[in-house]
Structures are given as structure tokens and as C-alpha cells.
Amino acid sequence: MFMTFYNVDMEKAKNINDLLEEYERMEAIIDLFFKKDVENKELEELRRWLTVSINYFRRFQKVLSILKIKDEKINIKEAEEKEFLIEKLYLLLIENGKIRSNQKIKSINDVEIDKAVIGEPIFVVYVNEQNIDLFGNVITFYMVSSIFNAIAEDIKKDENGKKKLLFSDTDSNPMYRVYSGFLNKKEAEKEEKRVINKIEEYKEAKTLEEYLEQLREGIV
């Protein structure tokens, strides 16, 4: 997206920092020779593309820094392919944001719950561990998920005797999940306990696509 639109030669850049410096140099040259109040559609489009690209790679570098990943080991074309993941990590780890997902959760495993809740609305918060492969680095990531508008449908046991809680919802009040993310398990567990006191903050979370649109418009 960013690096191919205006046919910038990525092969000349040894790393992300080189590419960012090249974009900033291009932006400075354009500002030097063309006033911003000059009406030129192509020039406006180029300026916008540069601004979006520069801001993205600045966020990219912040994500690398917090994950302790070295810039020089990253293939630039691969960096473009990881844009969606990088933006998500930026929102969760740098902005401490919450992200909404409208994908429905069918069940969660290993729960302690009473059968009396079956058929009733239920609010669930849980932590799950994920391993993310990012540029050859395996990052352990802890996600705190809150499930809204779920109905406890059934409880089943697996072959080890552990309980699985099954969910359903209604068309008029569909289920959704909001999650935050942490690199530290203890911090994730603390957040799990705090969610109930931050319920409005979680309810107001936007989808990743909505956040990305705001990032590109310079709102976030």
C-alpha cells in the first residue's frame, strides 16, 4: 500500500529507518518547492500519501521498540504485509487501547460456573495467551477479553473433566467481544479484575478498522 503507490524504490532502503528518512526527505523537498495552499490534486494526493506513510512507520518503530525487535533484521516488503498486525499491536501496547470484534465466541474452556446461569445473560472476562510470530521473533501476548450480550447456553465437560461454557445470543442484541493486550501476564490478570470498573470504556471500544481509519486521518 504505502511503499508501492508512488513507485518508491524499496530495494535501496536497508531498513525501516532508512525508508522513513527517505519519505521525510521527500516531504521536506515538496514543502520547500511547493506552498501548501497551491491547488494541485496530484500534489495533495502525494502529500497525503507521504503523511500517512511517515506516520505509519513511526508507529511501526514504536512497536519494534517495545517488543525489542531490531530494525535492521526486518525485510521491508514483509513489513508492508504485516501492516494490520502492527497497527493492532500499536493500539494495544502503545495506546493501551481496547478493540471491538463483532466475531461471535461460541465457547470458552476450563470455566467454573453454576448451571443456574444457563439460559441467562452473562458477562464474561477472561485472559488467554497467544504466541505471535513477528519477523522471526515469537512474542508471547496476553489478551484480556470481555464478552458482551452473551447468553449462557450450556455447560459441557471434555475428556479431562474440564468444563466448557457454550454461548448464544439474539438477533436484536448480538454478542461482541472487546479485548485489550499486554506483554506481561500479571498486568493482564490485573486488568481482568479491573474490567468491571472500566465497563463503559470497554463498551465504547471501536473495531480495528474504525481505529485504522482514524489513525490515517490523524484523529488518534
Over residues 116-152, the pLDDT tens digits come to 578 888 888 999 999 998 888 899 999 999 999 999 8
Which DSSP state fits 109?
A: E
Query: Residue 206: pLDDT band by 50, 70, 90 thresholds?
Result: very high
pLDDT at 49 over 50: yes
Q: Are 111 and 163 in contact (CB under 8 A)?
A: yes
Output 53 or 144, whichever has higher pLDDT. Answer: 144
The three grid cell numbers given for residue 17, joined into one nine-digit string:
529507518
With beta carbons less than 8 A apart as the criterion, state whether 144 and 182 touch. Answer: yes
Judge whether residue 4 has pLDDT over 50: no
Task: State the pLDDT confidence band at 1, using cuts at 50, 70 and 90.
Answer: very low
Give DSSP secondary structure letters for 24-43.
HHHHHHHHHHS-TTS--HHH
Reported as a pLDDT band with limits 50, 70 and 90, residue 7 is very low
pLDDT tens per residue, range 82-123: 888 999 999 999 999 999 999 888 888 766 666 657 888 888
DSSP letter, residue 135: T
- For residue 42, give the C-alpha cell: 496530484
Q: Which residues pair with 125 in a beta bridge?
A: 146
- Fill in the DSSP letter of residue 204: T
Residue 8 pLDDT > 70, yes or no?
A: no
User: 204 or 34: whose pLDDT is higher?
Assistant: 204
pLDDT for residue 160 is more than 50:
yes
Q: What is the Cα–Cα distance from 157 to 18, expressed in whole angstroms?
A: 55
